[in-house]
Amino acid sequence: MDGLECSEINRSELERTLRIDSEFYSKSAIKVSDMLQSRSHDLLTTFVNVSDGNHMGISDCFIDEGVPYYRGQDAGAFFIENSNPICINEKTFELPVMKRSHLKKGDVILSIVGTIGSLSLVYSDKSATCSCKLAILRPKEGKSAELLATFLRGKYGQAQITRFTRGAVQKGLILEDMDQLVVPTLGDGIVEAIKNAVQSAYQIQEKANIHYREAQRTLMNSVGSILVPAESVSVRNISTSFYTTGRLDAEYYQPKYEAIVKKLNTRETVLSLCNLHDKNYNPDAKQTYQYIELADVGQSGDISDVDIQYGSDLPTRARRIVKSGQVIVPSVEGSLQSCALITDEYDGVLCSTGFYVLDSDCINSETLLVLFKSEPIQALMKQRCSGTILTAISKDELLSMPLPMIDDDIQEEIAAKVQEAFTLRKQSKQLLEYAKQAVEMAIEQGEDVALEWLNTVTHEQEA
């Protein structure tokens, strides 16, 4: 019996649908439930109004820029504004059937299918909406969105979400089960301190975004403005089109791409300026690994907390080892903006084969990141994507793509701004971690202990 456990539950204690699966009554699950039930708490449905996102098929309305349309894979960063969502046009957003899925500041959006438990806080008043793969938890009057987000991201919130997930092949957290999750009732002092920590974290991230945008402007001032021709017709003979490129799709020959290449005015390519690292690695099934997927990449090239998984649980695409200073560039068209810089924190981590892993001997890592996320390079990458079901840029197309060489002094300026942005994001991330730990400490050790600790660590960081 070594290594086995047994829980004895009376029939009267079964949850409302009379679940009898053993995982639901594991000792760890019962311990979390007992801990939460032993102190003052609200049912989640008392704390928030629960709904989900759009159920209408609108994939034909997806565009690169417009109103953010968040999907399950977009939840994960604490603030949803830091994700890289697909967008829809304003007309689709304003359809009556879409009104129910419109997001508001203070909403917590929780992934209930696929990556169940990933969640983000909506923290701006900008127009946005989401799919039905996300539950919308809207705090009721007087309830704190910051408390809810930090609690649900912590071990007690995640344990409840895992426990109430249902299904075999397609698992999910159904909305009807939300009334079985609980949220601790905390005093005004600790709630206000958590709110202040989250607000400070958001303000710091906004400062980081300003520094990153300055780096982008520095790069574009170096490259110069690119005027896209008004006409959209390009006449080619077969020798200068298909025989040269192997492409017959009209989009590939749009005049705008010629204008970009002409403005870049470079003989250099990704192949001549960068090193591609595409050696596969076979994880040990018995070891644990951190794994970077597209959903882990933030809007400005940073990486959020990544999952730790056993090698046996990793997807087959987890085959690249990344090193500090490398830049990862997605291959799939809809995710091309999700480029990221590998910092010391993620040195030696695995990433998906859906990324190209690059570095350069003549362009610093920060400039390389900003280059690949810039509008002209993004446009050229999109031009070179091909495929039917899954449109992606091939290795050969990526390596042959024009890439400008940037002056050393400009590179240094860009690097300084990007590094400052990353430093600020790290501070923001630490504040959010403090807030999460404070909620857990309040549950385990009491609010006075948690409040004193949170005030101490936040003041130390400010100093």
SS (HEC) of the chain: CCCCCCCCCCHHHCCCCCCCCHHHHCHHHHHHHHHHHCCCEEEHHHHEEEEECECCCCHHHEECCCEEEECHHHECECEHHHCCCEEECHHHHCCHHHHHHECCCCCEEEECECCCCCEEECCCCCCCEEECCEEEEEECCCCCHHHHHHHHHCHHHHHHHHHCCECCCCCECCHHHHHHCEEECCCHHHHHHHHHHHHHHHHHHHHHHHHHHHHHHHHHHHHCCCCCCCCCCCCCCHHHCHHHHCCCCHHHHCHHHHHHHHHHCCCCEHHHHCEECCCCCCCCCCCEEEEECHHHECCCCCECCCEEEEHHHCCCCEEEECCCCCEEEECEHHHCCCCEECCHHHCCCEEECCEEEEECCCCCHHHHHHHHHCHHHHHHHHHCEECCCCCEECHHHHHCCECCCCCHHHHHHHHHHHHHHHHHHHHHHHHHHHHHHHHHHHHHHCHHHHHHHHHHHHHHHHC
Tell me, what's the pLDDT at 305? 72
Helices 188-223 and 145-153, axial angle in degrees (round to 10): 80
Q: How many CB atoms lie within 10 A of CB 299?
A: 18
119-121, strands of its sheet edge to edge:
48-52, 134-139, 108-111, 119-121
Rounded distance, CA 331 to CA 345, Å?
A: 24
Q: By the 8 A CB rule, do 380 and 402 touch?
A: yes
Rounded distance, CA 208 to CA 82, Å?
A: 11
Tell me, what's the pLDDT at 256? 86
Vertex 428: Cα angle to 425 and 430 (nearest 5): 110
Helices 408-445 and 27-37, axial angle in degrees (round to 10): 70
Q: By the 8 A CB rule, do 293 and 267 touch?
A: no
Rounded distance, CA 199 to CA 7, Å?
A: 42
Whole-structure pTM value: 0.85
Q: How many CB atoms lie within 10 A of CB 381?
A: 23
User: How do strand 350-352 and strand 288-292 relate by DSSP bridges?
Assistant: parallel
Q: How many CB atoms lie within 10 A of CB 117?
A: 19
Rounded distance, CA 314 to CA 285, Å?
A: 9
From the list 106, 279, 329, the residue with the least C-alpha distance to 202 is: 106
pLDDT in tens, the chain (463 residues): 455 566 666 555 556 655 656 677 778 878 888 899 889 999 999 999 999 999 999 988 998 889 999 999 889 889 999 888 889 999 999 999 999 999 999 999 999 998 899 999 999 999 999 999 999 999 999 999 999 999 999 999 999 999 889 877 778 999 999 999 999 999 999 999 999 999 999 999 999 999 999 999 999 999 876 665 656 666 666 665 555 666 657 677 788 888 899 889 999 999 999 999 999 999 998 999 999 988 788 778 888 778 788 888 898 999 999 999 999 999 998 889 899 999 999 999 999 999 999 999 999 999 999 999 999 999 999 999 988 778 999 999 999 999 999 999 999 999 999 999 999 999 999 999 999 999 999 999 999 999 999 999 998 877 6
Considering only CA atoms, give the Rg of the chain.
24
Tell me, what's the pLDDT at 31? 86
Tell me, what's the pLDDT at 421? 95
From the list 46, 54, 94, the residue with the least C-alpha distance to 72 is: 54
Tell me, what's the pLDDT at 1? 43
Rounded distance, CA 403 to CA 392, Å?
A: 19
From the list 345, 328, 225, 220, the residue with the least C-alpha distance to 278 is: 328
Vertex 80: Cα angle to 78 and 82 (nearest 5): 90
Polymer length of the chain: 463
Sign of CA dihedral 144, 146, 149, 153: negative
